[in-house]
Structure 1
Amino acid sequence: MPYETKRIKLQKAKNLLPRIRHAIYQPVASMKVTAWVTAEPVPYSERTAGAKVELAPGDKWGNLWDCAWFRFEGNVPDAVSGNKMVLLIDVNGELCLVDQEGSPMQGLTNINSEFDFSLGLPGKRVVDLGYEAAGERIDLWADAGCNDLFGQYRSGTLKEADIAICYEEIRQLYFDYEVLLELAEHTPENGARAERVTQSLYDAALKLEVINEETAKQAREILAKELAKRGGDPVVTVSAIGHAHIDLAWLWPIRETIRKGARTFSTVLKNMEKYPDYVFGASQPQLYQWMKEYYPKLYDRIKERIQEGRWEVQGAMWVEPDTNISGGEALVRQILYGKRYFQQEFGQEMKVLWLPDVFGYSASLPQLLRKSGVDYMMTQKLSWNVYNTHPHHSFEWEGIDGSKVLAHLPPEDTYNSPGAPRSLAKIENSYLDRNVSEHALMLFGIGDGGGGPGEEHLERLSREHNLLGLPPVVQESSLSFFHKLEQEKARFQTYRGELYLEKHQGTLTTQARNKWFNRKMEKSLRELEFAASLLLAMGENAYPSQELEEIWKETLLYQFHDILPGSSITRVFEESLERYALMYGRTQELIAQTYAKAARLTGAGEGQAVVFNSLPWEREEVVLHKGEYYAVKVPSMGFASLAEAELCPEQTGESGLRAGEQVLENRYLRVTFGQDGSIASIYDKAAGREAIAPGRQANVLTVYHDKGDAWDFPRDYRDTVAGRMQLVESSFSVERNQAVVEQRYRFGESTLVQRIVLEEAGTTVRFETKADWKEAEKMLRVSFPVHVASEHVNCEIQFGYLKRPTTRNSMIEFVRDEICAHQYIDLSQPDYGVALLSDSKYGYSAERNVLDINLLRSPSYPDPVADRAEHQFVYAIYPHRGDFIAAQVYRKGYELNTPLTVAEPSAATLAARRTATFASLIQVDNPHVMIEAVKKAEDSDDLIIRLYETSGTLAQTAVAFGGECSAVEEVDLMENTIGEAGAQLMFQPFEIKTLRVKL
């Protein structure tokens, strides 16, 4: 007689699995449910302050984002004595059970939640009572949010609140059966192992026509033989660590993230009591700080598990930030504050950069990591590439300066692993570097408030530890994994340059106001730290350390990878913009106060204004003060009295400055406009050549259809032109030292006003822009076809630049059409070039000879009103002789973003203090060395000076300090001493050096 076919046997097993799961729990009593509903969270002490409702299953208790304190009351029947008892609770929202002091005990999540079900079911509804619960009185309080994992509304009704028997033998059978079923499906189809496992499942199924504890025990005895079979010497060993990726804001507001953290972390702690092998990790000091502030008792329990070694604090940054848009010094502060927090709170030295979900990785990161004592990086986002597969899962990543870190991408391509046999099979089969590596990482659990790993993950792993047919898996920290991986790195390949994600290029532009504020905050914090450092060097210790740290940390919070990129809901941006405005205003206030004090110490008298320059080169510019224009010369990182400056005269025809007849002109440039407002010509008089491609129009404001979301716009957007902004009126005028044309445009319901400015001695054309944008699902871009031929465009990134192709010869080049740059993007020949500068834009394209900048886009998801608002921004065109290095384009970018500051001495403050003996705090004698930051040291009154080489060449410079200093030493980015600094500093290409100056 032939055997039954494998297909039939497996289908019988699959059909049986839901029946087993359904038989695990038997409700025996309902609980009384009362809720007190509020619009926003209230503390435990005020839990009855909301609107009171009595609930039965099916009753509604809230709308999206409503909050409630639930009370569950009931009695466990005496008749269930000897059984394992549980509570089954689902409020169609997220819930956190608390103890009698209001401290989180366990998080629960609605089953009906938006999630990738191929990774498992996201719900957590079971509360263990144990075997001795008969006769017990139930009186539980829980804090609820009327939203699912991803901020979606799921009816807002109570689904269940029952006391139930848990048939443990059936529960264990379920996981036995599930693991072996997947094993049979993911081992070689015709192999003996798959056949025998399938037969065991079939034999067990024959015992389970009626499912009860006795038949479950019989079935488990059959399956135990296959679960007991062990593997031989491993080819790949999988290191598994529990994970709960929590976006600090995304489809929910920041306030809900705090509660998600409590629900998730309390669930982790609960499961650690039940599963002794369970090792969990979580990143982001900001999240831990919230736990410390809002849930101190929970935080203390977390600290205990960290000290025990079962809870790994992960990552080296304050949050998991966007690394394309965040500025260089901001990334340094992410690491500085992140590592210091974990060291101070837990005594942990962070060695791993943990960025599973950001939208591309700057080529500056490897140097920042190595100079901060971070040796490893983990991500998985590159698995989202659309056209090209990243060639490695384990590799050495090399940055623009040559620094390398060991990087690993979990081969399962997710941070929400179900920890199932299919997970292990995929890791073994998909690991691109399995020819040279025997180790891979798996991150298991459910994120975004889903409580991390559930019992299903941990039950599976307990059976898979060394199960024949699967690679062995061990639960351990990611750091332990990287230590193993490092032993193999001599055989790994090196990948140099940025790790470009072939998705989400729209995030370089979406939510333009947020990006504008981010740039302004980064520059304002730099200015404030310089001003306060200048005052410190003048002998006055008034450095606002605490307030600066608070502002920095909030700025870093808003650089989180779903806030700064613009990919969150409306409420997130309403709240961030409100906070940005307050922080920016306060920072500007502190700058003014600090410079006013410094002005007094320069010796300036009452009413004698002083001009301050925070950039490390002498600047000759025109400044406006009290309605008058002054031509000033201010030394490197220093100051000059406005009393010694020349008052700019009214312009005459002899100055060469004119505006009219469709032309702006000064001594260096002549800009000619078409009747439609576009630029027909930028003639460089000094170079004797045209900067705009002949016959082409520049500064054309083109509107494209954009049916994408916050993350992505169509790749074929150039083929879906909606139109151009139409010129309504223009007026030309000379305003003291500026030739100006003001142009007014309209498209649909939107208007845009540009002041195009050419200063008397200026070499750039500035486009000062205000837009009232009301279009939906549209994208506004502006382009400049330039009279330059080059196969590469030069793009400023943090602490350097990248050369990217202007050709589209391969699929790699094709998909990298939209690129990130900070203060400039430049197209240069050896003898000539044109740069496009910006004060707040990050999305660019450079194809052949066209420089293009993405100004605004207004997708409808997840924020249906994204960028429908009033905007302001500045960009500029800089034609130059020589290539971009010879022309020092980076300086033009800094000058556009860092204006000179004029301050009058504070009336009486510091009047008796000594006058400063210097006019320049710091000078460097190499034009390619930039001073990015001057600040007070974290743990002393010393000054920290951060410099970097800008041109990609070897460089040597002397650094001169205007104030008195007793010693200068070199430190790393964590401000740990490396050694003494000599009279000359030697830089490798793009190298960052940090000095400590002892005053």
Structure 2
Amino acid sequence: MHQHPQRTVDRARRMLDERVRPAVEHRSAPLRIGVWRLAGEPEPFEQATAGAFEPFTAGSAWGPAWTTAWFRLQGEVPAGWDAAVVVDLGFDGGPGFQCEGLVYRADGSIVKGVHPRSQYVRLDPGTATIDLYVEAAANPDIAARAFRPTALGDGLDGGGEPQYRFRRAAVVSIDRGAEELAVDLDVVIGWAVELAADDPRRSKILRALDRACDVIDPDRIHECVESARAELAPVLAVPSAASTHRVAAVGHAHIDSAWLWPMRETVRKCTRTFANVLALMDDYPELRFACSQAQQYAWIEEHQPKLFARITEAVATGRFVPAGGMWVESDTNMPGGEALVRQFVHGKRYFAERFGVEPREVWLPDSFGYSAALPQIAALAGFRWFLTQKLAWHPTNHFPHHTFWWEGIDGTRLFAHLPPVDTYLSELTPAELNHATKNFRDHAGATTSLVPFGHGDGGGGPTALMMERARRQADLEGAPPIEHLTPTAFFERAESEYPDAPVWVGELYLEAHRGTYTSQAAMKRGNRRSEHLLREAELWCTTATLRTGVPYPYDALDRIWKTVLLHQFHDVLPGSSIAWVHREARAAYEGVRVELEDLIAGALAALAGAGDTTIRFNAVPMAVAGVPALGATDRPAPVEQAVTARYNGDQWLVDNGVLRLTIAADGTITSLVDTRHDRELVADGARLNDLVLHHDLPNAFDAWDLDASYRATAAPLRTIDSLRVTERPDAVVVEVRRSHGASAYEQTITVPAGADRVQFAIDVDWHEREKLLKATFGLDVRASEATAEIQFGHVRRPTHDNTTWDEAKFEVCAHRWVHVGEPGFGVAIANDSTYGHDIRRLPGQPGDLLAGRAGTGIGLSLLRAPRYPDPETDQGRHHARYTLVSGAGIGDAVESGLRLNLPVREVRGTAVPAPIVAVDGDGVVIEAVKLAEDRSGDVVVRLYESLGARPTGRLRWNFVAHGAEIVDLLERPLEGCDVEEGAVRFALRPFQLLTVRIRVQEVTGDEDD
């Protein structure tokens, strides 16, 4: 017969959708429904099912936003039925972003979850009477509102309008033959669309589809199933060629630990998803399901211990796979170095203690770019491989590899994979598999790519349809053969066959979601303060334990670290969750602050003892500056230079003996001269500490994205309400008040006597909408590159737009400082809570040989006001500090960042205890001083090289010890070290991270390492 390809495809699709799929349910009978509605938070099974259930009619409305309703389903199974229960809570759209349900037996045991793509509930063999409970969550479909502002993310709305209409609860008889035919048609139609028009295989498929449709009688579907399948069987039986690209299918359910739902709902999403997976494994033993985020396992262990026991059994058989090894799938741009270490430490410890496994792959499919420090951190935590999907989101520059070696700032490499299927939510459709094959950029050296499949973001996981698709395409001509593998099995194969994969050096910068460095400023400040308070708490508590014998607060610190790590999840710290999430996060950060301040105060009080002398404790133990780890008595340094302020017409002249500043009447700095170098820092026509407001209207993803077009809308805030200058013996302080629109700004400029730096603070009562606030510094420094601190080191990025790769970095992430410089002279700007920066060349003056040449502009992104997913993002009061250091090298920048973030502590007492550790070696920074995780009492010191150099030096300690060794991040021995008289000698490579374990207890022959 003459084929009309599109007509054949359309005919087959209609037959599948309108005839075959409806015929899967051969017969059905409604169930009796009762309901118990909860106006508040969820309740456990025993408590909720003890309520008085009211009669409920299918078709009725239920579920104000975020509320829970318990439905009881009762009925009988007709004799002879191959029966299942179908539940439709009012599903509309995809899983994970709307109502969901968890099905329980009457004894409280969990059966499975239900969602739009998994509505059927298997009945236990021999079931005659149905008595099931469904915990139904009325989660509003915020994503369906096309990423527009909505108040539905603000919290529980027990008195609001119902979100859903309960459609159906029934017992049905399943026609297994029709079910199989539906999958056959699904796969064959898919390949009829995907194969090229001139592919002979396509012609055979089209003919088979026509013949199958010919034999299907719409009035007698159940009698035609076998004959229709027989027409399709030949094209489904042709094996694939040996040279075909292969696919490693890994079951997955990317569950955001918070996003368009609160964390309490994530606990239930995990329960529903994991129950689905365990039920699916009963029917499909080949399924391998990879689940990362130790926090999510811990939630199940706490809230659903029986389900956790089933997970433990499945882990033991190798089918349920703890992957990734982090506490959560965190952001990797903004967490500090020690925090990223603890993500791996806490994640790996949990997996080892609960399951006896140690993942070797970093599993971060959806984080928003990846720090160049990550390879070294991961390798020292025992990882070998790295997986992400997010780089497929690049809108401009396509990442050039799918399988590659990723090299970090210190030279450490991880074997990395970017799945060419371009999704971590694959459904194993022919379209996805064909795209993976055609898109893969490394066919020359590699034969296999990984496909994470299963509904995700909001959970759901793999389904029976996906598993059936995999079976039919496991060895099918035209399709990439599918194997169900664990991540470990995939990476072992991929690395062995492609050891000479290309190398990518440096950060994996994501050309999207740049606004996440700034959105929800309270998340950024809360994270930064928490990290540094933890650093102080561990140092002072370790010192107090060694010096005074007070107990070390292991449990408290463990719990606090896990709270901080949880909030580094890649939609919480980046500021891209609903208002409910961020409201709870602000409260959590405040709780962390209060508890850590109490721990620090208690440790310092124990160290200082009784008395009335002021004792100063300094937590900036850094070799470059020679700062001791502990403090001294209250003897302020003498002021060698006076600092003066003089009003001159419409400007103020401030001179501290090192720097001369001109502060204009509008409160900006129009001149800053470093007298040591006779050097003007302000570029022609520019200013320092200039507040600039921009329109901030990204094309999509409000809280996530910052589009380059914002730069065309700069509006400097130069009108002032007042300017006040105060002269003190040690500093001149300039206070500037401004108001603009609905917001008020209070800026403080402090010029300390005899210092090479100027300190800035800003308090903002922010009530703008869709605006971006920056503090800008136009510097007369010609720099083709800018240096920015990252974890355990720094990276250099271009300040020009020579290529599209350079142009894409118009907003970048930095930690405590950025630096620009020329040979012999540089400027650093340190901050206490800012991550987003733009550092770009300033235009010179063409045609005038005597005019200034191109300088460098540094902009600190202080505040945004996106409207989705939280319409009230950042509304309210904010505070930030930053410091400009003139004549600064990289070491000065490192010191300034530490000083700004680690304040000197003052307590009253008598004793001045000696520092417990100190370090020699230019540019060597001690990152952490703590007691060992195994609670042995050993002291662990983590240090790193900060300048990109190769120093030698010593780590010295001042307590009784019985040796020391180099350990990995999990504090397991790596190698011995050169110990002599209370010190360890070392020679570090650029940016090397080194962890030293100092043995406090003497090791006997009976003890294990």
Secondary structure, counterpart of 1:776 in structure 2 = coil
Q: Counterparts of 1:742-757 in structure 2 under 5 Å? A: 742-757=735-750
SS of corresponding position for 2:164: coil
Shift of 1:769: 1.3
Structure 1 position 722, deviation (Å) = 5.1
Aligned-partner residue type, residue 597 of structure 1: A
1:434 matched to which residue of 2?
443
- In structure 2, the CA distance between the partners of 1:539 and 1:234, relative to structure 1 (3 Å rule), is farther
Q: Aligned AA for 2:395?
A: V
In the aligned structure 2, how far is the partner of 1:388 from the partner of 1:697?
34
| 1:806 matched to 2:796 | no
Alignment match of 1:314 (pick from 310, 323, 331): 323
CA drift at 1:160? 1.2
Is the Cα–Cα contact under 8 Å of residues 393 and 432 in structure 1 kept in the other structure? yes
Distance in 1, matches of 2:453 and 2:140, equals 20
SS in 2 for 1:356: coil
1:528 corresponds to 2:537: yes
Q: Following TM superposition, by how much is the alpha carbon of 1:52 offset from its aligned partner in structure 2, in angstroms?
A: 5.7
Find the partner of 2:123 among 119, 129, 132.
129
Tell whether 2:840 aligns with 1:847: yes
User: Quick check: 1:705 aligned with 2:714?
Assistant: no
| Aligned equivalent of 2:197, options 189, 195, 201 | 189
State the Cα distance separating 1:150 from its structure 2 match.
6.0
Matched, 1:387 2:396: yes
Counterpart of 1:615 in 2: which secondary structure? Answer: coil
- Paired residue type of 2:757: T
Q: Does 1:609 align with 2:614?
A: yes
Identify the residue that residue 963 of structure 2 maps to in structure 1: 967
Range with bigger deviation, 190-199 or 48-57: 48-57
| CA offsets 1:525-576 (integer angstroms, 9 cap, x no match) | 0000000111233251421011000000000000000000000000001111
Hey, what does 1:296 align to over in structure 2? 305
Decide whether aligned partners of structure 1 residues 149 and 995 sit closer, same or farther in structure 2, where only a CA change above 3 A counts.
farther
Q: Give a deviation string over 1:272-296, Cα, whole Å, max 9, x none.
A: 1111211111110000000000000
3-state SS, counterpart of residue 888 of structure 1: helix
1:97 alignment counterpart: 103
Q: 2:643 aligns with which of 649, 656, 667?
A: 656
Partner SS, residue 640 of structure 1 = coil
Partner Cα distance (2:7, 2:66) in 1: 47
In 2, distance between residues paired with 1:755 and 1:656?
A: 16
Aligned residue in 1 for 2:139: 147
- Give the superposition deviation at 1:635: 4.9
TM-aligned CA distance change 1:235 to 1:614, over 3 Å:
same
Structure 1 residues 725 and 579, CA gap change in structure 2 (3 angstroms): farther
Q: Distance in 1 between matches of 2:550 and 2:602?
A: 14
Q: Which residue of 1 aligns with 2:168?
A: 160
Share of identical aligned residues, percent?
Answer: 36
Deviations 1:139-180 (A, max 9, x none): 111211102676768932212112222111111100011111
* Alpha-carbon separation, structure 2, partners of 1:10 and 1:131: 39
Is residue 60–residue 166 contact of structure 2 (8 Å, CA) maintained in 1? yes
User: How far apart, CA to CA, are the structure 2 residues paired with 1:387 and 1:151?
Assistant: 25
- Distance, in Å, in 2 between the alignment partners of 1:516 and 1:664 is 31
Quick one: distance in 2 between partners of 1:512 and 1:180? 51
Alpha carbons of structure 1 residues 339 and 466: separation in structure 2 relative to 1, 3 Å: same
Check if 1:977 corresponds to 2:973: yes
Q: Which residue of 1 aligns with 2:881?
A: 874
- 2:616 maps to a residue whose letter is V
Partner of 2:668: 678
Q: Contact between 2:103 and 2:132, CA under 8 Å: does it hold in 1?
A: yes
CA distance in 2, matches of 1:842, 1:853: 8
Q: Please name the residue that 1:107 is paired with.
A: 113
2:826 maps to 1:819: no
Q: Which residue of 1 is the match for residue 14 of structure 2?
A: 15
The alignment covers a number of residue pairs equal to 948
SS of equivalent residue, structure 2 residue 431 = helix
TM-score for the superposition, normalised by structure 2: 0.91
Question: Counterparts of 1:410 and 1:387 in 2: how far apart (Å)?
Answer: 19
Letter in 1 for 2:754: A
Gaps of 5+ in 1: 112-122, 621-633, 907-914
Q: For the residues of structure 1 that align with 2:705 and 2:723, how far apart are their CA atoms? A: 35
| Structure 1 residue identity aligned to 2:865 | S
Q: Is 1:919 aligned to residue 927 of structure 2?
A: no
Q: What is the CA distance between 1:48 and its match in structure 2?
A: 4.7
* Equivalent position of 2:35 in the other structure: 35
The answer to whether the 8 Å contact 2:623/2:921 transfers is no
Residue aligning to 1:488: 497
Q: By how many angstroms is 1:21 displaced? A: 1.2
Is residue 932–residue 971 contact of structure 2 (8 Å, CA) maintained in 1? yes
Match of 2:681 in 1: 691
The match for 1:323 is: 332
CA contact (8 A) 1:89 1:162 kept: no
Partner AA of 1:741 in structure 2:
V
Question: Relative to structure 2, which stretch is displaced further, 967-976 or 139-148?
Answer: 139-148
Name the residue aligned to 2:188: 180
Q: Distance in 1 between matches of 2:425 and 2:507?
A: 25
Task: Return the alpha-carbon distance in structure 1 between the equivalents of residues 602 and 614 of structure 2.
Answer: 13
**2:823 matched residue in structure 1:** 830
Q: Partners of 2:6 and 2:624 in 1: how far apart?
A: 79
Q: CA deviation at 1:723?
A: 5.4
Q: Distance in 2 between matches of 1:635 and 1:988?
A: 23
Aligned partners of 1:131, 1:997: CA distance in 2, in Å?
60
Aligned AA for 1:668?
Answer: V
Cα distance change, pair 647–365 in 1 and its aligned pair in 2 (3 A): closer
How far 1:863 sits from its partner (Å)?
A: 0.4
Q: How far apart in 1 are the matches of 2:715 and 2:657?
A: 39
2:745 equivalent to 1:737: no
Spell out, residue by residue over 1:479-515, the C-alpha distance to the aligned partner (whole angstroms, 9 max, x if none).
1000001102322100000001000000000000111
Q: Secondary structure at the match of 1:699?
A: strand
Cα 1:694–1:190 change in 2 (3 A) is: closer
Residue matched to 2:56: 55
Question: Residue 892 of structure 1: SS of its match in structure 2?
Answer: helix
How much does 1:26 deviate? 4.4
Q: How do 1:509-524 residues align onto structure 2 when only pairs under 5 Å count?
A: 509-524=518-533
Distance 1:635 1:398, change over 3 A: closer
The answer to whether structure 1 residue 989 and structure 2 residue 990 are counterparts is yes
How far off its partner does 1:736 sit? 4.2
The aligned residue for residue 148 of structure 2 is none
* SS in structure 2 of the partner of residue 183 of structure 1: helix
Q: Which of 275, 280, 297 does residue 271 from structure 1 map onto? A: 280
Distance 2:86 2:424 in 1: 29
Secondary structure of the residue aligned to 1:396 is strand
Counterpart of 2:597 in 1: which secondary structure?
helix
| Partner AA of 2:780 in structure 1 | H
The DSSP-based 3-state class of the residue aligned with 1:71 is strand
Distance in 1 (CA, whole Å) between partners of 2:52 and 2:759 is: 57
The worse-fitting range, judged by mean Cα deviation, of 890-899 and 421-430 is 421-430
- Aligned partner (choices 862, 867, 870) of residue 869 of structure 2: 862
Higher alpha-carbon deviation: 320-329 or 176-185: 176-185
Q: CA deviation at 1:966?
A: 2.2
Tell me by how many angstroms 1:209 deviates: 3.1
Q: 1:484 and 1:454 mapped to 2: Cα distance? A: 26
CA distances 1:796-825 after superposition (whole Å, capped 9, x unpaired): 111000010011111111111101100111
TM-score normalised per structure 1: 0.92
Which residue number in structure 2 is paired with residue 623 of structure 1? none
Query: In terms of mean alpha carbon deviation, does 169-178 or 664-673 score higher?
Result: 664-673
> In structure 2, what is the Cα distance between the partners aligned to 1:521 and 1:958?
29
Corresponding residue for residue 894 of structure 1? 898
Residues 65-74 or 803-812, more deviating:
65-74
Question: Residue 820 of structure 2 contacts residue 826 of structure 2 at CA under 8 Å; is this kept in 1?
Answer: yes
Residues 428 and 646 (structure 1 numbering): CA distance in 2 closer, same or farther, change over 3 Å? closer
Residue number among 578, 583, 590 corresponding to 1:581 in the alignment: 590
Q: Which moved more, 1:25-34 or 1:311-320?
A: 25-34
Distance of 1:752 and 1:51 partners within structure 2: 56
Assess, with a 3 A threshold, how the Cα gap between structure 1 residues 139 and 3 changes in structure 2: closer, same or farther.
Answer: same
Q: Following the alignment from structure 1 to structure 2, what is the Cα–Cα distance between the partners of residues 754 and 893? A: 20
